[in-house]
Amino acid sequence: MGFSSSSSSSCLPLRAFLIIIVEVLFCYNGGAIAVPLKESVPAVIVFGDSIVDPGNNNNVKTIVKCNFPPYGRDYIGGIPTGRFSNGRVPSDMITEKFKVKKILPAYLDPNLQMQDLLSGVSFASGGSGYDPLTPQIVSVLSLSDQLKMFKDYRNKIKTAVGETRSEMIVSKSIYIVCIGSDDIANTYYSTPFRKSHYDIPAYTDLLAKSASSFFQELYGEGARRIGVLSLPPIGCVPSQRTLNGGVDKGCSEQANQAAKLFNSKLSSLINSLNQRFPEARFVYLDIYNPLLSLIQNPTHYGFEVGTKGCCGTGNIEVSILCNRYSINTCNNATKYIFWDSYPPSEKAYEILAHIVVDNKINKFF
Protein backbone atom coordinates (compact mmCIF):
# COMPACT_ATOMS: atom_id res chain seq x y z
CA MET A 1 0.00 0.00 0.00
CA GLY A 2 1.36 3.42 -0.94
CA PHE A 3 0.96 6.76 0.76
CA SER A 4 -0.67 9.67 -0.99
CA SER A 5 1.48 12.60 -1.99
CA SER A 6 -0.53 14.91 0.26
CA SER A 7 0.18 12.72 3.30
CA SER A 8 3.86 12.59 2.42
CA SER A 9 4.16 16.31 1.94
CA SER A 10 2.38 17.03 5.23
CA CYS A 11 5.14 15.15 7.05
CA LEU A 12 7.88 17.35 5.63
CA PRO A 13 7.38 20.37 7.93
CA LEU A 14 7.31 18.08 10.98
CA ARG A 15 10.46 16.28 9.81
CA ALA A 16 12.26 19.58 9.19
CA PHE A 17 11.16 20.83 12.62
CA LEU A 18 12.55 17.74 14.33
CA ILE A 19 15.87 18.09 12.50
CA ILE A 20 16.13 21.71 13.60
CA ILE A 21 15.35 20.80 17.22
CA VAL A 22 18.06 18.10 17.23
CA GLU A 23 20.60 20.51 15.75
CA VAL A 24 19.72 23.23 18.26
CA LEU A 25 20.03 20.82 21.19
CA PHE A 26 23.38 19.58 19.89
CA CYS A 27 24.76 23.10 19.52
CA TYR A 28 23.40 24.14 22.91
CA ASN A 29 25.25 21.31 24.57
CA GLY A 30 28.50 22.19 22.81
CA GLY A 31 28.74 18.72 21.27
CA ALA A 32 28.61 17.00 24.67
CA ILE A 33 25.66 14.96 23.41
CA ALA A 34 28.27 12.67 21.81
CA VAL A 35 28.99 10.99 25.18
CA PRO A 36 27.57 7.43 25.01
CA LEU A 37 24.28 7.27 26.92
CA LYS A 38 25.24 4.19 28.93
CA GLU A 39 28.57 5.60 30.03
CA SER A 40 29.14 7.64 33.19
CA VAL A 41 31.86 10.22 33.71
CA PRO A 42 32.00 11.11 37.41
CA ALA A 43 34.93 13.49 37.09
CA VAL A 44 37.54 15.04 34.81
CA ILE A 45 41.11 15.15 36.09
CA VAL A 46 43.82 17.16 34.36
CA PHE A 47 47.61 17.27 34.40
CA GLY A 48 49.79 19.67 32.46
CA ASP A 49 51.04 23.20 31.96
CA SER A 50 49.67 26.73 31.48
CA ILE A 51 47.15 25.66 28.83
CA VAL A 52 45.16 23.79 31.49
CA ASP A 53 46.28 25.46 34.73
CA PRO A 54 43.20 27.12 36.28
CA GLY A 55 45.18 28.74 39.08
CA ASN A 56 47.47 26.26 40.83
CA ASN A 57 50.42 28.60 40.31
CA ASN A 58 48.64 31.19 42.45
CA ASN A 59 49.75 29.06 45.39
CA VAL A 60 53.25 28.22 44.16
CA LYS A 61 56.34 30.37 44.77
CA THR A 62 57.07 31.23 41.14
CA ILE A 63 56.97 34.25 38.87
CA VAL A 64 54.91 32.25 36.36
CA LYS A 65 51.57 33.67 37.42
CA CYS A 66 48.62 35.47 35.89
CA ASN A 67 46.23 36.14 38.78
CA PHE A 68 45.99 39.83 37.92
CA PRO A 69 44.38 41.99 35.20
CA PRO A 70 44.00 41.93 32.29
CA TYR A 71 43.98 38.11 32.60
CA GLY A 72 40.46 36.84 33.19
CA ARG A 73 38.75 40.01 31.96
CA ASP A 74 36.24 37.91 29.95
CA TYR A 75 35.90 35.23 32.64
CA ILE A 76 32.78 35.00 34.80
CA GLY A 77 32.66 38.27 36.72
CA GLY A 78 35.83 39.53 35.02
CA ILE A 79 37.96 37.84 37.68
CA PRO A 80 41.66 36.97 37.11
CA THR A 81 41.63 33.41 38.49
CA GLY A 82 45.13 32.38 37.48
CA ARG A 83 44.03 30.99 34.11
CA PHE A 84 46.49 31.93 31.40
CA SER A 85 43.87 33.49 29.14
CA ASN A 86 41.20 36.16 28.97
CA GLY A 87 38.52 33.63 29.96
CA ARG A 88 38.04 29.89 30.32
CA VAL A 89 40.74 27.44 29.28
CA PRO A 90 40.61 23.96 27.63
CA SER A 91 40.37 22.07 30.93
CA ASP A 92 37.07 23.87 31.58
CA MET A 93 35.74 23.29 28.09
CA ILE A 94 36.66 19.62 27.94
CA THR A 95 35.05 19.05 31.34
CA GLU A 96 31.85 20.62 30.04
CA LYS A 97 31.92 18.46 26.93
CA PHE A 98 31.87 15.36 29.12
CA LYS A 99 28.80 16.77 30.91
CA VAL A 100 30.54 17.04 34.27
CA LYS A 101 30.63 20.78 35.01
CA LYS A 102 31.41 24.08 33.31
CA ILE A 103 34.43 25.09 35.40
CA LEU A 104 37.27 22.78 36.47
CA PRO A 105 38.96 24.19 39.60
CA ALA A 106 42.61 24.13 40.60
CA TYR A 107 43.51 21.46 43.16
CA LEU A 108 45.43 24.06 45.20
CA ASP A 109 42.46 26.44 45.36
CA PRO A 110 42.07 27.15 49.11
CA ASN A 111 38.28 27.42 48.69
CA LEU A 112 37.90 23.93 47.22
CA GLN A 113 34.99 21.89 48.59
CA MET A 114 34.58 18.10 48.68
CA GLN A 115 31.96 18.25 45.92
CA ASP A 116 34.55 19.99 43.74
CA LEU A 117 36.98 17.14 44.38
CA LEU A 118 34.42 14.45 43.61
CA SER A 119 33.72 15.90 40.15
CA GLY A 120 37.34 16.60 39.27
CA VAL A 121 40.18 19.09 39.48
CA SER A 122 43.24 20.20 37.57
CA PHE A 123 46.73 19.59 38.94
CA ALA A 124 48.37 21.47 36.05
CA SER A 125 51.05 24.07 36.63
CA GLY A 126 51.97 26.77 34.13
CA GLY A 127 55.58 26.41 32.96
CA SER A 128 55.84 22.67 33.60
CA GLY A 129 57.00 20.00 31.15
CA TYR A 130 57.79 16.36 30.47
CA ASP A 131 61.46 17.18 31.02
CA PRO A 132 62.02 17.27 34.82
CA LEU A 133 64.37 20.21 34.31
CA THR A 134 61.67 22.43 32.77
CA PRO A 135 59.64 23.01 35.97
CA GLN A 136 62.83 23.37 38.01
CA ILE A 137 63.99 26.31 35.91
CA VAL A 138 60.89 28.37 36.77
CA SER A 139 60.04 26.79 40.15
CA VAL A 140 56.66 25.25 39.26
CA LEU A 141 55.05 21.85 39.83
CA SER A 142 56.61 18.94 37.96
CA LEU A 143 54.63 15.97 36.67
CA SER A 144 55.95 14.06 39.68
CA ASP A 145 54.57 16.77 41.97
CA GLN A 146 51.25 16.64 40.16
CA LEU A 147 51.09 12.86 40.50
CA LYS A 148 51.82 13.15 44.24
CA MET A 149 48.92 15.58 44.54
CA PHE A 150 46.72 13.11 42.67
CA LYS A 151 47.60 10.42 45.23
CA ASP A 152 46.66 12.86 47.96
CA TYR A 153 43.42 13.55 46.09
CA ARG A 154 42.63 9.82 46.00
CA ASN A 155 43.07 9.56 49.77
CA LYS A 156 40.82 12.55 50.37
CA ILE A 157 37.91 11.23 48.31
CA LYS A 158 38.36 7.73 49.77
CA THR A 159 38.01 9.17 53.27
CA ALA A 160 34.95 11.15 52.20
CA VAL A 161 32.93 8.57 50.23
CA GLY A 162 34.53 5.20 50.96
CA GLU A 163 36.72 2.84 48.99
CA THR A 164 34.11 1.46 46.58
CA ARG A 165 32.85 4.82 45.30
CA SER A 166 36.31 6.38 45.24
CA GLU A 167 37.65 3.52 43.13
CA MET A 168 34.73 3.96 40.74
CA ILE A 169 35.48 7.68 40.44
CA VAL A 170 39.16 6.99 39.72
CA SER A 171 38.53 4.27 37.14
CA LYS A 172 35.68 5.96 35.25
CA SER A 173 36.95 9.53 35.22
CA ILE A 174 38.37 11.19 32.13
CA TYR A 175 42.05 12.13 32.41
CA ILE A 176 43.58 14.82 30.24
CA VAL A 177 47.32 15.42 29.88
CA CYS A 178 48.41 18.63 28.13
CA ILE A 179 52.09 19.46 28.47
CA GLY A 180 55.39 19.70 26.57
CA SER A 181 55.41 23.07 24.80
CA ASP A 182 57.66 24.66 27.42
CA ASP A 183 60.19 21.85 27.01
CA ILE A 184 60.78 22.81 23.38
CA ALA A 185 60.20 26.58 23.48
CA ASN A 186 61.88 27.36 26.78
CA THR A 187 64.17 24.62 28.07
CA TYR A 188 65.62 23.58 24.73
CA TYR A 189 65.66 26.73 22.61
CA SER A 190 65.86 29.45 25.29
CA THR A 191 68.40 28.01 27.75
CA PRO A 192 71.78 26.29 27.29
CA PHE A 193 71.05 23.40 29.67
CA ARG A 194 69.87 20.76 27.19
CA LYS A 195 70.95 22.04 23.79
CA SER A 196 74.64 21.44 24.50
CA HIS A 197 74.00 17.78 25.36
CA TYR A 198 71.12 16.77 23.08
CA ASP A 199 70.16 17.31 19.47
CA ILE A 200 66.42 17.45 18.77
CA PRO A 201 66.00 13.73 17.99
CA ALA A 202 67.71 12.83 21.28
CA TYR A 203 65.82 15.46 23.26
CA THR A 204 62.45 14.35 21.93
CA ASP A 205 63.45 10.80 22.90
CA LEU A 206 64.04 12.07 26.43
CA LEU A 207 60.59 13.71 26.43
CA ALA A 208 58.91 10.58 25.07
CA LYS A 209 60.57 8.42 27.71
CA SER A 210 59.39 10.76 30.46
CA ALA A 211 55.89 10.79 28.98
CA SER A 212 55.79 6.99 28.87
CA SER A 213 56.81 6.74 32.53
CA PHE A 214 54.14 9.24 33.57
CA PHE A 215 51.34 7.55 31.62
CA GLN A 216 52.22 4.18 33.09
CA GLU A 217 52.37 5.61 36.62
CA LEU A 218 48.97 7.19 36.05
CA TYR A 219 47.64 3.85 34.86
CA GLY A 220 49.13 2.24 37.95
CA GLU A 221 47.13 4.67 40.09
CA GLY A 222 43.89 3.49 38.49
CA ALA A 223 43.36 5.82 35.53
CA ARG A 224 41.80 4.08 32.51
CA ARG A 225 40.47 6.82 30.23
CA ILE A 226 43.43 9.01 29.32
CA GLY A 227 43.49 11.68 26.63
CA VAL A 228 46.87 13.13 25.65
CA LEU A 229 47.20 16.35 23.69
CA SER A 230 49.98 16.68 21.15
CA LEU A 231 52.32 19.64 21.03
CA PRO A 232 51.02 22.66 19.08
CA PRO A 233 52.90 24.42 16.27
CA ILE A 234 55.14 26.08 18.86
CA GLY A 235 57.12 28.02 16.26
CA CYS A 236 54.01 29.98 15.27
CA VAL A 237 53.08 31.41 18.67
CA PRO A 238 53.81 35.16 18.80
CA SER A 239 56.74 34.94 21.25
CA GLN A 240 58.55 32.40 19.07
CA ARG A 241 57.96 34.53 15.98
CA THR A 242 59.53 37.45 17.84
CA LEU A 243 62.52 35.51 19.18
CA ASN A 244 63.24 33.12 16.32
CA GLY A 245 61.19 34.21 13.32
CA GLY A 246 63.68 36.61 11.79
CA VAL A 247 62.97 40.09 10.47
CA ASP A 248 59.59 39.08 9.05
CA LYS A 249 58.58 37.37 12.30
CA GLY A 250 57.54 34.25 10.50
CA CYS A 251 57.00 30.89 12.16
CA SER A 252 60.12 29.27 13.60
CA GLU A 253 60.39 26.14 11.48
CA GLN A 254 62.97 24.51 13.75
CA ALA A 255 60.56 24.68 16.69
CA ASN A 256 57.69 23.38 14.55
CA GLN A 257 59.80 20.50 13.26
CA ALA A 258 60.77 19.61 16.82
CA ALA A 259 57.10 19.59 17.82
CA LYS A 260 56.18 17.39 14.85
CA LEU A 261 58.98 14.94 15.64
CA PHE A 262 57.87 14.63 19.24
CA ASN A 263 54.24 14.26 18.18
CA SER A 264 55.12 11.33 15.94
CA LYS A 265 56.83 9.64 18.90
CA LEU A 266 53.93 10.48 21.20
CA SER A 267 51.40 9.01 18.75
CA SER A 268 53.42 5.79 18.48
CA LEU A 269 53.67 5.65 22.27
CA ILE A 270 49.89 5.98 22.63
CA ASN A 271 49.37 3.11 20.15
CA SER A 272 51.86 0.97 22.05
CA LEU A 273 50.18 1.64 25.41
CA ASN A 274 46.78 0.70 24.01
CA GLN A 275 48.19 -2.65 22.93
CA ARG A 276 49.96 -3.20 26.24
CA PHE A 277 46.96 -2.20 28.39
CA PRO A 278 43.85 -3.30 26.44
CA GLU A 279 41.49 -2.53 29.34
CA ALA A 280 42.51 1.15 29.17
CA ARG A 281 41.79 3.82 26.57
CA PHE A 282 44.70 6.08 25.65
CA VAL A 283 43.50 8.72 23.19
CA TYR A 284 45.85 10.86 21.09
CA LEU A 285 44.42 14.36 20.62
CA ASP A 286 46.03 16.30 17.77
CA ILE A 287 46.19 20.02 18.47
CA TYR A 288 49.04 20.75 16.04
CA ASN A 289 47.09 20.75 12.79
CA PRO A 290 43.91 22.44 14.03
CA LEU A 291 45.83 25.35 15.60
CA LEU A 292 48.02 25.68 12.51
CA SER A 293 44.85 25.87 10.41
CA LEU A 294 43.54 28.71 12.59
CA ILE A 295 46.83 30.59 12.27
CA GLN A 296 47.03 30.14 8.50
CA ASN A 297 43.34 30.90 7.89
CA PRO A 298 42.25 33.30 10.65
CA THR A 299 39.33 34.88 8.79
CA HIS A 300 37.85 31.46 8.04
CA TYR A 301 37.34 31.00 11.78
CA GLY A 302 36.18 34.55 12.46
CA PHE A 303 39.50 36.08 13.56
CA GLU A 304 41.28 39.17 12.35
CA VAL A 305 44.74 38.67 13.92
CA GLY A 306 46.72 35.44 14.01
CA THR A 307 50.35 36.53 14.36
CA LYS A 308 50.34 38.46 17.62
CA GLY A 309 48.46 38.45 20.90
CA CYS A 310 45.86 40.82 22.28
CA CYS A 311 47.85 41.85 25.38
CA GLY A 312 50.23 44.79 24.93
CA THR A 313 52.22 44.67 21.72
CA GLY A 314 51.25 41.01 21.44
CA ASN A 315 54.81 40.07 20.51
CA ILE A 316 56.48 39.14 23.80
CA GLU A 317 54.10 39.82 26.71
CA VAL A 318 53.16 36.76 28.77
CA SER A 319 52.57 36.15 32.49
CA ILE A 320 53.95 39.09 34.54
CA LEU A 321 54.86 40.96 31.32
CA CYS A 322 51.16 41.08 30.46
CA ASN A 323 49.65 43.30 33.13
CA ARG A 324 47.33 46.27 33.73
CA TYR A 325 50.09 48.63 32.58
CA SER A 326 50.66 46.90 29.23
CA ILE A 327 50.23 49.48 26.49
CA ASN A 328 48.00 48.88 23.44
CA THR A 329 46.14 45.88 24.82
CA CYS A 330 43.24 45.19 22.46
CA ASN A 331 39.63 45.93 23.39
CA ASN A 332 38.14 42.80 21.82
CA ALA A 333 40.03 39.55 22.32
CA THR A 334 37.58 37.61 20.12
CA LYS A 335 39.35 39.07 17.08
CA TYR A 336 42.65 37.47 18.16
CA ILE A 337 43.74 33.84 18.03
CA PHE A 338 46.22 34.53 20.83
CA TRP A 339 45.48 36.25 24.12
CA ASP A 340 49.11 37.08 24.92
CA SER A 341 52.31 36.05 23.18
CA TYR A 342 51.85 32.36 24.04
CA PRO A 343 48.42 31.01 25.08
CA PRO A 344 45.42 31.37 22.75
CA SER A 345 42.32 33.40 23.52
CA GLU A 346 39.14 31.93 24.99
CA LYS A 347 37.43 32.04 21.58
CA ALA A 348 40.32 30.15 19.95
CA TYR A 349 40.24 27.58 22.75
CA GLU A 350 36.51 27.04 22.21
CA ILE A 351 37.01 26.39 18.50
CA LEU A 352 39.98 24.11 19.12
CA ALA A 353 38.18 22.14 21.83
CA HIS A 354 35.35 21.51 19.38
CA ILE A 355 37.69 20.39 16.58
CA VAL A 356 40.06 18.34 18.72
CA VAL A 357 37.76 16.66 21.20
CA ASP A 358 34.25 16.25 19.78
CA ASN A 359 34.99 13.49 17.28
CA LYS A 360 37.22 11.62 19.76
CA ILE A 361 34.82 11.39 22.71
CA ASN A 362 33.69 7.86 21.86
CA LYS A 363 37.30 6.65 21.86
CA PHE A 364 37.43 7.13 25.63
CA PHE A 365 34.85 4.38 26.18
What pLDDT is attached to residue 34?
58
The contacts of residue 342 (CB under 8 Å, 6+ apart) are 50, 84, 185, 237, 238, 239, 309, 318
Instruction: Write out pLDDT tens, residues 207-259.
Output: 999 999 999 999 999 999 999 999 999 999 999 999 988 889 999 999 999 99
pLDDT of residue 37: 63
* Residue 268 and residue 337 in contact, taking contact as beta carbons nearer than 8 Å: no
281: helix, coil or strand?
A: strand
Q: Mean pLDDT over residues 167-192, rounded?
A: 97
**What digits encode the pLDDT tens for the residues 16-55?**
444 333 333 333 344 444 577 678 899 999 999 999 999 9
Q: How many CB atoms lie within 10 A of CB 265?
A: 17
Q: Are strands 305-309 and 281-285 parallel, antiparallel or unpaired?
A: unpaired
pTM: 0.90
d(CA 38, CA 45): 21
What average pLDDT does the chain have? 91
